[in-house]
Amino acid sequence: MRYRTTIIGSAFVFIAVAARASAASSPASTGVIQILSQQPLAGQTGTDVTILTVDYSPGGSTPPHEQPGTTYAYVLQGSVVSKLDDGPTQTFTKGQMWTEQPHDHHMISKNASSTEPAKLLVFMIAPHGAELTTFLR
């Protein structure tokens, strides 16, 4: 029960920090994160697998950030523009995915459309108890 409470608390903190970080640059444009599941990864002591969704409103984005583990992002709806580190800026459409290695700097993560929403399904494998997202300065 304590583990579940920690997960839920961490989700609320993450959402609050994301909202505050983007409010300074563009009000109401932050992707909305919903954690669907988080549990220990079988056979990997000290490692969790987290499944979440990110909903982007039209024109929505998230600030530059990084994750502590390997991340797989799958586009469920719309199109998402992504740029990792100094790599190319790429647009992913419904049914496409990309992978992020631990601590890759996700410099651009935004809805490609200013009129239609976009949604990601994210699987992340990370150390137990780690902050799921760290915003870059």
| Closest to 122 (Cα-Cα) out of 43, 69, 83, 46 | 69
Question: What is the reported pTM?
Answer: 0.77
- Quick check: 7 pLDDT over 60? no
48-105 pLDDT per residue, tens: 999 999 999 999 999 999 999 999 999 999 999 999 999 999 999 999 999 999 999 9
List the domains of the chain with CATH numbers.
2-135 (2.60.120.10)
Within the chain, what is the greatest distance between any pair of CA atoms?
Answer: 44
- What per-residue confidence (pLDDT) applies to 29? 62
The band of 22, judged by pLDDT with boundaries at 50, 70 and 90, is very low
Take residue 60 and report the two structure tokens written for it.
């929505």
Residue position matching structure tokens 């499944």: 51
